[in-house]
Structure 1
């Protein structure tokens, strides 16, 4: 549900399917990652408060049905804290049954907020942040132009967790290609151990039209992993995740990009998850005509 006719496409996480999508920015302020084409068609801009309030007023007739709100577009946390607090206050006053406000955030957005600012946002109703970590490896992060080092990427996630905001971390299996698969798996596992998110989602690399990574593939500069090797990489990654026994991290690999849907709670289900990944690897071993574009339209 959204009430907006601003330029550009609208994206949201799968778990926000029934949320009111409130577009507080247009596009992504970084918009330079080589694997992504989501916001290539629009120029990033923040929305003035009158445009934001127009959307809120349009949704007001549905107030008794709105329990979740997602702040779009690509990294709403880039907004100044005072502006975000004003938006959260307006949402709390307009939607009496509101249970959760969530948003995407880039690592720089989180690093640019002080602990006190993040705690204030949490108190005002920001309950969940979706964070595309993608990799915990310096070489891979540099090659995909993520804009941060691994240490910075980890610190960004730790800041959200420390503020008491739930963190959903996304990683991309296959992002390092054949050349960097082993280091991508090992160092992404280390990053997950350091951040300790409440949710961890593993997507599979898709070569999107209009992305720089697709151009690298077509010119022979990037060699993607076939399905069975994606599972091998994921096996090594999950093997390296070592969370405290009392932790409850929901692991999901059920995005449209994934070859096999997987679900577990870590660390409790780690052995079972590894067995499921091993079975998937065996099932996919005979796939020889896989589509390197991974069914992208």
Structure 2
């Protein structure tokens, strides 16, 4: 089976079959991300090649495949008929599939529109992973996300209306010390307007060969410490009115949180309060990411 570029998928897709549908990322300008900066350049693979890999996977795994993820960085940009076709083809090969998923940025989701999203859902695409990162437009501009809060809300609402599941990812600390409160409050506002199925928390770690690492090292960006991140998380959770599962399933986080909102809000806040009483040495140390 073919694969070009770094293998990158959400932790929740750890057990999924990975069949590459696109290579690289069509945006590839986010200042915090290093994944696709050194290539290969973005392209959409030929349908025949994608189907050949799916067929080979069927020969290897038989009907055992239950979940399928189509990398790479923004597979939602595929032409809707083509993405529908590989979803239907996959379900014909693997009749026990419970989930087919892709990455999709809000900008490209909005280019699809609600009708195409519904067509994708009907064809068997069942979940989109969206990097919200922040609901604060100032932060989104600074990190060159290529979208704004209004577009993030629209994209999220359209995905939810289509019948697909939606995972939205938040980067704790991405606003630094200067915008920690704005980040928490405005992100809570966007998430509450969308009410995605999953809210997944990550903590900002500067990565090698990224503009944000240069800003950290030069003192232009003042990172949050562990307790600052926890306070930001508490502010986010206190202001969320979304009915979502919130989880911190990532190695960058200082503590593990998992619960249903709003039912588990008080328990999650108690977990944070308990963690705030720990000595700072109890948390993971600062590090620079290389992946």
Q: What's the TM-score once normalised by structure 2's chain length?
A: 0.95
- Whether 1:146 aligns to 2:145 is yes
8 A Cα contact 2:254 2:284, kept in partner: no
Distance 1:289 1:239, change over 3 A: closer
Displacement of 1:293 in angstroms is 2.6
In 2, are the aligned partners of 1:227 and 1:287 still within 8 Å (CA)?
A: no
Counterpart for residue 19 of structure 1:
16
**Partner residue of 2:135?**
136
1:249-264 to 2 correspondences below 5 Å: 249-264=244-259
2:271 counterpart residue number: 276
Q: CA deviation at 1:292?
A: 3.6
CA distance in structure 1 between the partners assigned to 2:251 and 2:118 by the alignment: 34
Distance 2:114 2:259 in 1: 31
CA contact (8 A) 1:224 1:292 kept: no
Please give the secondary structure, in 1, of the residue aligned with 2:145: coil
Q: How far apart are the structure 1 equivalents of 2:226 and 2:198?
A: 24
Question: 1:89: Cα distance to partner?
Answer: 1.8
Counterpart CA distance in 1 for 2:265 and 2:110 is 31
Where does 1:1-297 land on structure 2 (aligned, <5 Å)? Answer: 3-4=1-2, 6-42=3-39, 43-61=41-59, 62-243=61-242, 247=243, 249-284=244-279, 286-287=280-281, 291-293=285-287
Q: Deviations over 1:123-169 (max 9, x none)?
A: 11111111110000010101100011111111111110111111011
Per-residue CA distance 1:73-113 (angstroms, 9 max, x = gap):
01110111011011112112211212210111011111011
Q: Return closer, same or farther for 1:289/1:267 CA change in 2, 3 Å cut-off.
A: closer
Structure 1 unpaired stretches of 5+: none
SS of equivalent to 1:171 = strand
Provide the aligned length of Structure 1 versus Structure 2: 289
The separation in 1 between residues aligned to 2:12 and 2:97, in whole angstroms, is 16
Does the 8 A contact of 1:193 with 1:242 survive in 2?
A: yes
CA RMSD of superposed structures (Å): 1.6
After TM superposition, the score normalised by the length of structure 1 is 0.93
